[in-house]
Structure 1
Amino acid sequence: MTSFLNYVFGPNLYMEYKGVAEPQRKMYEAGAAEKFGEQILSTLSVMWSVGYYTSPLLVTFLYRRGYIVADSMPTIAKITTSVGLIVIISLFMRGLGRKQSRAYSNMIKALAQARSSKSSGNGNNELRRFDIEFSAWPVDFDVKTLTGDAKKPTQSVGRREAISLATLPCELLAYIAIHTFGLPMIYPGSVKLIQKFMKPMLISGRAKLIDDDNGIRYKVKTIDSNEIDTLFIDNRNDNEGNGKTLVICSEGNAGFYEVGIMGTPIALKFSVLGWNHPGFAGSSGKPHPQQDQNAIDGVIQFAINHLGFLVEDIILYGWSIGGFSTLYAASIYPDVKGVVLDATFDDVLYLAQPRMPLCLSGIVRIAIRNYFNLNNAELAVKYNGPVSLIRRTDDEIIAEDNRIETNRGNFLVLSLLKYRYPNIFNVVQLSKMNNILAKPLEPYNIPGIEEKKCMSRLITYASDEGKSFPMLIGAEYSDEVRTQMAVFLLRKHLRDYNSTHCTQLPGEFFNIPWDIPTESGFVFT
C-alpha cells in the first residue's frame, strides 16, 4: 500500500533526458488512466485558482442571488462530498496509470535512492535523467548548514513612512492592497495561472539548457527555508573562453531562468548560474523583498561554498526588476567582479504610481515604501565596484509611452555617478547629461587625446587616493573639464541597445564592467 501511495502522491514527471538508454530526450507520455486522473485534478486546480483570485466578486454574486444562506448548507455539503469523491477516484486512476509506466517507475526508484542519500548529487546519479515536479527534488545545498558567522549587513526594505492615527486608514488599505492584487502586479510571474500556461515553454527551455549546454539543476534552501530552483552551467574546463568567471543571472518580474537572460553569457562561454525568484516555477515562497534577498544570498553562498567560485570571480547580472536582487547582492558581497544591469530602474515607486489612479497615489506610496521598497538607487551607492548599465532605447516598461527621456534607467545612472563623482557631476553637468540622455546615445566621439586625459586624471587620483567612493576628484576643474569628464564617465557606465524591454540582449552588449585601472606612483602630466 505504501508503495502504491508513492505513485498516487508522487511528483509529476515531465521529461526523460538523453542517456545510455535514451539517446534523445523525450517528453513523458502518460497512459490513459494517469492522463484521465491528472486531467480531472488539473481542472479542479485551475477552478480553485480562478475562484481564489475572483473570490470577492464570486462571494458577492452568490450572496446577492441568495445562495449563501443557512438553508443552502446541506447543498454545499453535498457538493463538497461529490467533489471529494471525484478527487479520490482521480487520485486512484493517476496512481494506477503511473504504476504501469516503466519511465515513472524508474523515476520513483531514482527519487527514493536520491532521498536516501540526502541529496541529488553532483550530476552523475539516476535522478538527473528525469525532469520532475521540483517540490519533490532533494535539497542540494542548505545555507543553514554553513559553519561560522554567516551574518551580513542587510539593506532595509521595510517600513519607511511614519504611521499616525490620521494615516492609519491608508496604512490599512495599503497593507490589504499589497497582500492581494499588489504582489501579482509587481511580480506577475508568481501567479500560478501564468505559470501553468508557460509550463511547456519552461520544460522545453530547461531541457535545452540541460541537454545542449550541460546544465545541472540544483535545489538551494535559504535561511528562511524557501527552496530555490537553480541551474548551473560549468564552463571552467574551456580554457579559451570566460569559464573561470561565473555570471549569476537575476530575472525580471515575469522572467524564468528557463527562458530568460542566461542565454547571453552562455553564448560568451561564461560559467552561468540562473535562479528563479521565490514563488516562480520550482522555487517556493513568495517574491516579497526579504524572501528575494534571502534567495539571492543563498544562491551566492551556494556558488561559493558548493560550486567553488571565488567572490572576486563572480559577475552579478540583473534584468529589469532583477536589478534589485543584483544590487542587493552587490551591497553584501562588495568584492564581486562587477555588476551588469540591463533595462532596470532607480525606484519602483515611480513606475507604480503612474499605473494607478491619481487619487490612490498616497496609498501606493505607503504600500511601496512600507512593503515593497525596491529602491535600486539607494542600493547602488552601497556597492564600491564596477557597474555597467544597458538602456533600451524603445523601452515600453520603465519609460512613459516609450519616451526615452522618461526612462528610469537615466535616473539610476545619474544617481550613481553623482554619488561616486560629486565634484564632477554638478548642476551644470547634470543638466547637460539629462540633455544627452533625452535621445539615443550617439557614437562615442571624444577625441583620442581628450579621452586619454580623462583616463589619466582618474588613474592619477585613484593611484594616489584610492578608488573608494565618493571620489572627490574634480573640485579644482573648470566647467569645461568637468563636462568632458562627465561625458567620459557616462559613456563608460552606460550603453544603448536599440530595442524594447523584453528582447534577448545580444552578446556584444554584455561586457565585464569597466573599472579605473591603478598604477603605483602614476603621475598625470
Structure 2
Amino acid sequence: MAAAGGPVGDGLIRRCIRGMALLYLCVKGPRLYRVYRQSGRTAAIRGRGQEEQEEPGVSWESFYQPRALEKHTDSIIAWVSVLWTISYYSSPLAICYMYRKGYLNVSRLFPLGQYGLTFLFLLAGVVCLRGLGRWSNPQYIQFIYILERTKIENNSENKKMLSSYHFDFRSWPVDFQWNENSSKELKSTGPLGGVPLLKPDLQSRGAANSVLQRIQKFPCQITSYAVAHSFGRRMLYPGSVYLLQKALMPMLLQGQARLVEEYNAKRAKLLACDGNEIDTIFVDRRHLGDNKGSKLVICCEGNAGFYEIGCVSTPLEAGYSVLGWNHPGFAGSTGVPFPQNEANAMDVVIQYALYNLGFELQDIIVYAWSIGGFTATWAAMSYPDISALVLDASFDDLVPLALKVMPESWRGLVTRTVRKYLNLNNADQLCRYPGPVLLIRRTKDEIITTTVPEDVSSNRGNDLLMTLLQQRYPKVMDEEGRKVVREWLACSTPEQEASVLSRYGVEDDWCLSVLQSYQSEHTGLFPWSVGEDMSSEGRKQLALYLAQRYLKNFEATHCSPLPASYFHMPWKL
C-alpha cells in the first residue's frame, strides 16, 4: 500500500506545486488587453514534456474577455492608480495645508500610518483576487504560458505567438539592445565622431566661473532644475503624463490593433544605452517589390503623439515600410523625455533598423511632426548618410515658443531653463546634415507661431528654412536674398506666392541650370559659393527658387493629419 501510494502522493504534490506556481504567475502577470483576431491559434505548452496542440475551429474574441472577478478587481486597481497619481501631483499643496492646520505631528500622523497599512493589505488582497480570476480563465492561462516560455527561449517562434497578444508592455522581452551590434565603424563618419550622446555646452573659464559667481548663480540653477523636472517637462511633453495616457488608452488599443491586424505590424522592445526601454512598431513592405516598399520611413511623433494614433499613418498610406516609436515615458516606453534620453532612444531605433531589420542608411527616410523634429534632426546630424529628412510643422528653436506661453517676467528663468535642460536646437542640428530636406509648413498653424495663427510670417518653420538656406547658400542668402525670401514666406495663399515670384521674374529653368553648372564644377559639399559673381537680381531669383524647393505649404492647422499626397521625397539637384 505504501509503495503503491508513494508515486500517487508525489504526483499530487507536483500538481499542487505546479498549480500554486501558475497561480503566482497569474497574480504577478501583466494585464492582458486584447487577443488579436486569428482563427486556429496554436496553444502554448501546458507543462514540461507536453507538445503544442493545434486548436482548429477556435476563434478568439478580438478583445480579451476577463471574467467577473478579474474585471472588477482590475477596475479597483485602475482607480487606485489614478487616485495615487492625483495624490502625487497634489502632494505639495496637501503638505502645505496639513502644515498650516497642525496635522504634521506624530500624534496625528500615527493613525494615518495605521490606515495606510490597512489599505495596503486590502490592496494586496485585491491583487490576489485578480490573480485568482485570471487563473480560472483559459485565455489568460494560455497567454501566461507563452509569455513565460518566451522569457526562457526568446526565439522567433515563441515571439510570433506572443505577438498575438496586446498586454502591459513592461513584461515584453527585450528584442534588441543598443550594444548588440558594433556600430563604431558606421558612426565614425558622422559629425559627432561616433558619440551618440548630446554634447553639453562648454562653460567659459575665468571671472565668470569664480566662486562668488557660482554662489550667486546657485539659487537660479536650483530654480531652473526644479522647473524643468516638474511642470516644465510635462508642459513640453504632455503625452508623458499618466492621466492623459489613461484617457487615451482606448484609442491607443484600437490603433495598435489596426496596425497589427490590418498591416501585419511587428512590435518590438529596444533597450537604449541609458537603460530606457523603447516601444516600437514595424510595418514591412519590402515583399511588395516596389521602390517605396524598399524604403524605410522612421517616424518621430509630436509632444502628445503616439505611434498608435500619430503620423505613422501618412507614410503607411503612401506605401512605404514604416518604423514608429514612442518617446521615453510614452505608452510602452520607459523613462522621461529629456533631450538626452530622446537622442539615446533615436540612436537605438536607427541601430535596430540597420542591424535587425536589415535596411541600409541609404534606404532610411526620417519623418517628423512638430517636436519630433528634434530627434529627426539629431538622427540626420549623427547619421548623415540617410536618404532624406522630412519635417512637418517643426520649428527652429524652443526658446521663442516657450517665451510665448510664459509670463514676460519669467523671460530670464525660461530662457535659462530651456537652454540648460530642454534645449531643442533643431536648426543647429539640421545645418549639420548635408542631404535632401523637405520642410512642410502649416499655413494655419496655431502652435508654432509666435503671434496669431493667421500671421504665417511668425511661423517658426520660416526661421528653420532661413537658417538652412543661409548655411547652405551663404552668397545667395545675403541681405537682399533674405529679404525677398521673408517676403515670400509672409504669403499665406498660392496666389500671393505666385505674385511675389512673378514680381522678381523667377525662371525655374535658368535657376536650375545655374545650380547644375556649379555642382558639375565643384565637390558638391555645403556650403556652396554659388551666386558669388551674380547680379543682385540673379541672387534674388535663386533665393526664391531654393525656398520653393525646400519648403511646401499645407493649408491646415497644427494637429491636422498630413495627407499621403503631401508626403514625397525632398528636392534633390
1:388 is matched with: 438
Greater CA drift, 98-107 or 303-312: 98-107
Distance in structure 2 (CA, Å) of the matches to 1:155 and 1:12: 35
Counterpart amino acid of residue 309 in structure 1: F
Render the CA deviation track for 1:348-374: whole Å, top value 9, x for unaligned: 111111211111111111111111110
Once residues 417 and 23 of structure 1 are traced to their aligned partners in structure 2, the CA distance between those partners, rounded to angstroms, is: 58
Corresponding position: 1:238 with 2:288: yes
Contact 1:13 1:133 survives alignment (8 Å) = yes
Amino acid at match of 2:135: K
- In structure 2, give the amino acid aligned to 1:90: V
The 5-angstrom pairing of residues 217-366 of structure 1 reads 217-240=267-290, 242-366=292-416
**Matches of 1:434 and 1:171, distance apart in 2:** 37
Read off the aligned partner of 1:57 and give its amino acid letter: L
Quote the residue 2:181 is aligned against: 146
Q: 1:409 aligned to 453, 457, 461, which one?
A: 461
One-letter amino acid of the structure 1 residue matched with residue 230 of structure 2 = T
Q: Contact 1:343/1:390 (CA < 8 Å) preserved in 2?
A: yes
Q: Are 1:106 and 2:142 counterparts?
A: yes
In structure 2, how many angstroms separate the alpha carbons of the residues matched to 1:502 and 1:5?
Answer: 45
Match of 1:2 in 2: 21
What does 1:103-142 align with in structure 2 at a 5 Å threshold? 103-118=139-154, 121=156, 125-142=160-177
CA distance in 2, matches of 1:513, 1:182: 34
Question: Please, which of 478, 484, 492 is the counterpart of residue 541 of structure 2?
Answer: 484
SS in 1 for 2:491: coil
Describe the SS at the equivalent of 1:48.
helix
Which of residues 20, 24, 27 is equivalent to 2:63? Answer: 27
State the SS of the aligned residue for 1:513: coil
Matched to 1:417, the amino acid is L
- Contact (CA 8 Å) 2:196, 2:344: kept in 1 or not? no
User: Alpha-carbon deviations, 1:54-98, whole Å to 9, x = none?
Assistant: 111111112222222121132112111121122111111110011
**Cα deviation, residue 211, structure 1:** 0.4
| Counterpart contact for 1:324–1:375, Cα < 8 Å | yes
Between 159-168 and 320-329, the greater mean CA deviation after superposition:
159-168
Q: Using the TM superposition, name which of 324-333 and 445-454 deviates more.
A: 445-454
Aligned to 1:473: 530
Cα deviation for residue 512 of structure 1 reads: 0.7
Paired AA for residue 77 in structure 1: G
Larger radius of gyration: 2
| Partner of residue 456 from structure 1, selected from 498, 513, 522 | 513
Relative contact order, higher structure (CA 8 A, sep 6+): 1
- Cα gap change, 1:379 to 1:76, in 2 (>3 Å): same
> Is contact 2:150-2:158 (8 Å) kept?
no
User: 2:476 maps to what in 1?
Assistant: 424
Residues 1:199 and 2:234 are matched in the alignment = no
Q: CA deviation at 1:416?
A: 0.5
Deviation string 1:362-401 (CA, Å, 9 cap, x unpaired) is: 1111111111110101001110000000000110110132
Out of 17, 23, 27, the residue aligned to residue 36 of structure 2 is 17
Distance 1:239 1:145, change over 3 A: closer
- Residue 43 of structure 2 corresponds to none
Q: Is the 8 A contact 1:123 1:216 kept in 2?
A: no
Partner AA of 1:136 in structure 2: S
Q: Distance in 2 between matches of 1:299 and 1:148?
A: 13
* C-alpha contact 1:251 1:319 (8 A) present in aligned 2: yes
RMSD (Å) for aligned C-alpha atoms: 1.9
Conserved? CA contact 2:506–2:544, under 8 Å? no
In structure 1, what residue type is equivalent to 2:458? Answer: T
Structure 2 equivalent of residue 374 of structure 1:
424
- Measured against aligned partners, the alpha-carbon deviations of 1:444-495 in whole angstroms (never above 9, x if no partner) come to 7568992111111111111221221111111111111111101110000001
Query: How far apart are residue 3 of structure 1 and its match?
Result: 2.1
Contact kept in structure 2, 1:236 and 1:243, CA below 8 Å: yes
> Which has the larger displacement, 367-376 or 65-74?
65-74
Cα distance in 1 for partners of 2:198, 2:483 equals: 31
Shift of the 148–429 alpha-carbon distance from structure 1 to 2, 3 Å rule, reads closer
Tell me which amino acid in the other structure corresponds to 2:473. Answer: Y
Determine the C-alpha separation between the residues in 2 that align with 1:355 and 1:187. 15
Q: Matched residues in 1 for 2:458 and 2:297: separation?
A: 30
Q: 1:487 to 1:363 in 2, by over 3 A?
A: same
Q: Output the CA distance in 1 between the equivalents of 2:524 and 2:297.
A: 24
Structure 2: which 5+ runs fail to align? 1-19, 41-57, 188-193
Q: TM-score, normalised by structure 1?
A: 0.94
Matches of 2:240 and 2:200 in 1, distance apart? 21
Cα contact 1:241–1:269 (8 A) shared by 2: no
SS of 2:148's partner is helix
1:167 aligns with 2:217: yes
Aligned to 1:76: 112
TM-superposed deviation, 1:153: 3.7
Match of residue 5 from structure 2: none
Q: Which runs of 5+ in 1 are unaligned?
A: 517-525
Tell whether the 8 Å contact from 2:32 to 2:166 is kept in structure 1 after alignment.
Answer: yes
Checking the alignment, whether the CA contact within 8 Å between 2:168 and 2:332 is kept in structure 1 is yes
The 8 Å contact of residues 37 and 89 in structure 1, kept in 2 or not, is answered as: no
Instruction: Go from structure 1 to structure 2 and tell me whether the alpha carbon gap of 1:23 and 1:398 turns closer, same or farther (over 3 Å shift).
Output: farther
Question: Match of 1:509, as an amino acid?
Answer: Y
Is the counterpart of residue 62 in structure 1 residue 98 in structure 2? yes
